[in-house]
Amino acid sequence: MADIAFESLTRWYGESAQRTVLEGVSGHIHEGEFVVVVGRSGSGKSTLLNLLGGLELPSGGTVRVDGIDIASLADRDLTALRRRRMGFVFQAYNLIPTLSVADNLRLPLSLNAIAETDQVEQWLARVGLPGRGSDWPDRLSGGEQQRVAIARALIHEPEVILADEPTGNLDLENAERVVALLDGLCREQGRTLIMVTHAMEVTGMADQLFTIREGRLVSADNPVPAGVM
Contact footprint for other proteins (CB under 8 A): 50, 53, 55-56, 75-76, 79-80, 82-84, 86-88, 90, 92, 94, 96-100, 102-104, 106-108, 110-112, 116, 136, 138-139, 152-153
Question: What's the min distance (Å) between Cβ of 109 and other proteins?
Answer: 8
CA distances from 84 to 20, 183, 224 (A): 31, 20, 33
Nearer to other proteins, 5 or 55 (CB): 55
d(C-alpha 217, C-alpha 211), whole Å: 6
- Torsion angle, alpha carbons of 190, 191, 196, 201, to 10: -20
Q: In which element (H, E) is residue 96 found? A: none
| Residues near 67 by beta carbon (within 8 Å), at least 6 away in sequence | 3, 5
Side-chain-facing half-sphere of 111: CA atoms under 13 Å: 21
d(C-alpha 61, C-alpha 188), whole Å: 33
For residue 174, which amino acid is it?
N
Nearer to other proteins, 151 or 206 (CB): 151
Question: What's the min distance (Å) between Cβ of 119 and other proteins?
Answer: 12
Nearer to other proteins, 1 or 96 (CB): 96
Question: What's the min distance (Å) between Cβ of 114 and other proteins?
Answer: 12
d(C-alpha 77, C-alpha 81), whole Å: 6
d(C-alpha 143, C-alpha 32), whole Å: 25
Nearer to other proteins, 23 or 165 (CB): 165
Spatial contact of 2 and 66, defined as CB atoms under 8 Å apart: yes
Question: What's the min distance (Å) between Cβ of 9 and other proteins?
Answer: 15
Question: What's the min distance (Å) between Cβ of 35 and other proteins?
Answer: 19
Crossing angle for the helix pair 101-111 and 119-126, to the nearest 10 degrees: 120
Question: What's the min distance (Å) between Cβ of 69 and other proteins?
Answer: 18
Nearer to other proteins, 186 or 209 (CB): 186
Nearer to other proteins, 15 or 138 (CB): 138
